[in-house]
């Protein structure tokens, strides 16, 4: 009876905290906040301009303008981001908020698509590179469920403070609005505010200049032991090597073949089977990651298809991604796990083209082939700034662009290149030098540099 009373008392306390927090949020909602939300829903550039004219010193108005420009395929969103950064810095100084050692991350980063976790890892490395001041980062998570709680734990160890209790959230609500870091679209740094896919390139260059390395996560000894026990149950011998693979298809979050606007990012698992057979022929195992709505791969020796499991394991997602020899990924969120643990990645069927600046020198990058007016674009023509705004099927239609998926043979040959890069330490720099210089020159005004490599087999065919 006493326990029931305590439980009821606790529930009442939590409910009261929620009500109080909601009241504080309503109290702090200004005229600007209401207009901002209205313009956000409209996605209209003219409405965004009106909002800026009414509130020229409000940084969130300038950030929204950049976002709407991007959504409307306006390439000048890059310069708008720099204007936002300038206005935001002036705003923080004027309100004496620049000296506070605290910033907030939206819960969206940890409760939405898995790939958004990568943005937080970029921030961690921006601090390591000295491009962003180290502060205490808080995420007012409350009752939200993490997309992958195990992955979140690695961010929580030394980087992010997740606040779950509503009575603790209360004390942050008044300052949260002005100190929320806009980590879903851009990455404000000390002297610039790059578009998020470009930000990692700035970080890589700065680390290289300072002779520093990326800050990776490491599996804990507990997770390592637990993972090895599971490998045994999966039929993978001790000390065997394996490759994880994630292939994006319609099926996630209500997406179907008929309603999808992201076919530009999707692939057919059938075209990966020859690559899987090659890995197995070399003594490796393939572990196919993903949810159970994806097309199944059956009866391939030493290929384990985890998409056939009805119950998803967040732990396995992290452990396998972190401990694989390399990972084969499409334009999907799973790559956030292997990259943040330092695992080399073979990027296949990649779109949009901006993703090339999120790759390291240990990775290999193979994009989809672009066509315009029935002519295949050269790789040099593919990697130009105006193509970075092609992020969905609607944009391809507006720009008159078609895309061709990588063939089964191309994926096989790229996998062979990746195998030699890792197991034979074979350099691919000479073959890549010309194209990398061309891409760097294309993005010179944005201060970007192509640091990753293409599979030599792919270059031989298309360059």
Q: CB under 8 Å, gap of 24 or more: what pairs does 77-86 form?
A: 77/195, 77/389, 78/195, 78/385, 78/446, 81/186, 81/193, 81/194, 81/195, 82/192, 82/193, 84/59, 84/186, 84/193, 85/188, 85/192, 85/193
Per-residue pLDDT, averaged over 319-342, amounts to 96
- The tokens of 351 are what? 């779109």
Nearest to 351 by CA among 263, 255, 244, 237: 263
Q: What is the pLDDT of residue 449?
A: 97
* Cα(66)–Cα(48) distance, integer angstroms: 9
Does 253 score more than 90 pLDDT? no
Report the pLDDT value the prediction gives residue 298, as an integer from 0 to 100: 79
Please report the pLDDT score of residue 28 as a whole number.
61
pLDDT in tens, 28-49: 678 999 999 999 999 999 999 9
Tens digits of residue pLDDT in 405-459: 999 999 999 999 999 999 999 999 999 999 999 999 999 999 999 999 999 999 9
Q: Phi first, then psi: what are they for 363, rounded to 5°?
A: -95, 165
Q: Reply yes or no on whether the pLDDT at 24 is more than 50.
A: no
Q: Percentage of the chain with pLDDT > 70?
A: 92
With cut-offs at 50, 70 and 90, classify the pLDDT of residue 92: very high
Closest CA to 186 of 291, 44, 318, 85: 85
Q: How confident is the model at residue 328 (pLDDT cuts 50, 70, 90)?
A: very high
| Average pLDDT of the chain, as a whole number | 90
Greater confidence (438 vs 166) lies with 438
List, as one string, the DSSP characters of 134-198.
Answer: --EEEEE-TTPPPS-HHHHHHHHTTTEEEE--HHHHGGGHHHHGGGB--TTTB---SS---BHHH
Contact 337, 322 (CB under 8 A): yes
Task: Give me 14's structure tokens.
Answer: 């939590």
Domains defined along the chain, listed by start: 21-209 (no CATH), 221-462 (3.40.50.2000)
- Give the strand pairing for 326-329 and 345-350: parallel
Indicate if the pLDDT at residue 339 is higher than 60: yes
At residue 306, does pLDDT exceed 70? Answer: yes
pLDDT band at residue 463, thresholds of 50, 70 and 90?
confident
CB 264 within 8 Å of CB 220: no
66 or 386: which leads in pLDDT: 66
Rounded Cα gap, residues 224 and 203, in angstroms: 29
Between 28 and 286, residue with greater pLDDT: 286
**Reported confidence tier of residue 9, pLDDT bands at 50, 70, 90:** low
- The Cα-based distances of 253 to 113, 297, 334, 439 in angstroms read 9, 21, 15, 34
pLDDT in tens, 51-64: 999 999 999 999 99
Query: What pLDDT band is residue 262 in, cutting at 50, 70 and 90?
Result: confident
Phi, psi of 405 (to 5 degrees): -65, 150
Coil, strand or helix at 213: coil
Contact 248, 406 (CB under 8 A): no
| In the predicted structure, residue 71 carries a pLDDT above the cut 60 | yes
What is the C-alpha to C-alpha distance for residues 43 and 235, in angstroms, rounded to an integer? 51
Is residue 106 over pLDDT 90? yes
Does pLDDT of 14 surpass 70?
no
Please check whether residue 349 is in contact with residue 335, taking contact to mean a CB–CB distance below 8 angstroms: no
Decide if pLDDT at 184 tops 90.
Answer: no
* Phi, psi angles (nearest 5°) of residue 389: -90, 0
Position of tokens 């390591």? 128
342 backbone φψ class: left, alpha, beta (φ>0; ψ -120 to 50): left
Distance CA 452, CA 418 (A): 13
**What is d(CA 50, CA 39) in angstroms, rounded to the nearest whole number?**
9
Tell me: pLDDT of 402 over 70.
Answer: yes
Q: Contact, 195 vs 120, CB < 8 A?
A: no
User: How does residue 17 score in pLDDT terms, banded at 50, 70 and 90?
Assistant: low
Q: Is the pLDDT of residue 10 over 60?
A: no
Please report the pLDDT score of residue 2 as a whole number: 44
Q: Prior bond to 141 cis, omega within 30?
A: no
This prediction's pTM = 0.91
- Of 326, 410, 419, 431, the residue nearest 368 (C-alpha): 410
Of 66 and 22, the one with more pLDDT = 66
Residue 442: the pLDDT is 95
Residue 391: predicted pLDDT? 86
Rg, Å, the chain Cα set: 23
Instruction: Give 357 or 254, the one with higher predicted confidence.
Output: 357
């Amino acid at each position: 009876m006493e326990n029931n009373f305590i439980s009821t008392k606790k529930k009442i306390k939590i409910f009261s905290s929620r009500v109080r927090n909601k009241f504080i949020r309503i109290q702090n909602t200004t005229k600007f906040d209401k207009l901002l939300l209205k313009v956000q829903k409209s996605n209209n550039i003219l409405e965004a301009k009106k909002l800026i004219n009414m509130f020229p010193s409000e940084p969130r108005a300038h950030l929204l303008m950049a976002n709407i420009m991007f959504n409307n395929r306006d390439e000048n969103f890059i310069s708008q981001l720099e204007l936002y950064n300038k206005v935001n810095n002036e705003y923080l100084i004027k309100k004496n908020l620049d000296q506070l050692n605290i910033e907030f991350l939206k819960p969206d980063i940890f409760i939405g698509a898995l790939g958004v976790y990568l943005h937080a890892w970029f921030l961690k490395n921006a601090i390591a590179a000295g491009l962003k001041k180290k502060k205490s980062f808080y995420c007012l998570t409350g009752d939200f469920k993490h997309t992958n709680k195990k992955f979140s734990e690695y961010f929580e160890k030394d980087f992010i403070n997740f606040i779950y209790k509503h009575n603790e959230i209360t004390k942050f609500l008044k300052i949260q609005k002005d100190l929320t870091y806009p980590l879903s679209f851009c990455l404000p740094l000390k002297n610039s505010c790059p578009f998020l896919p470009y930000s990692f390139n700035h970080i890589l260059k700065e680390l290289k200049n300072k002779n520093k390395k990326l800050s990776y996560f490491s599996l804990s000894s507990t997770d390592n032991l637990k993972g090895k026990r599971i490998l045994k149950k999966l039929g993978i011998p001790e000390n065997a090597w394996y490759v994880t693979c994630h292939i994006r298809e319609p099926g996630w979050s209500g997406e179907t073949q008929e309603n999808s606007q992201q076919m530009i990012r999707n692939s057919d698992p059938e075209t990966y089977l020859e690559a899987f057979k090659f890995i197995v022929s070399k003594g490796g195992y393939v572990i196919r990651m993903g949810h159970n709505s994806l097309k199944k791969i059956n009866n391939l020796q030493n290929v384990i298809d985890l998409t056939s499991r009805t119950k998803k394991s967040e732990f396995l997602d992290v452990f396998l991604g972190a401990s694989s020899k390399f990972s084969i990924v499409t334009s999907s969120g799973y790559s956030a796990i292997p990259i943040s643990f330092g695992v080399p990645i073979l990027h296949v069927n990649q779109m949009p083209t901006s993703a090339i600046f999120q790759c390291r020198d240990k990775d290999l990058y193979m994009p989809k082939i672009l066509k315009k007016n029935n002519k295949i674009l050269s790789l040099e023509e593919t990697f130009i700034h105006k193509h970075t705004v092609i992020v969905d099927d609607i944009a391809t239609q507006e720009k008159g662009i078609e895309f061709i998926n990588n063939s089964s043979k191309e994926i096989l040959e790229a996998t062979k290149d990746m195998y030699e890069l890792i197991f034979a330490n074979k350099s691919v720099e000479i073959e890549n030098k010309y194209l990398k210089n061309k891409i760097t020159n294309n993005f010179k005004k944005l201060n970007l540099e192509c640091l990753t490599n293409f599979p030599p087999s792919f270059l031989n065919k298309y360059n």
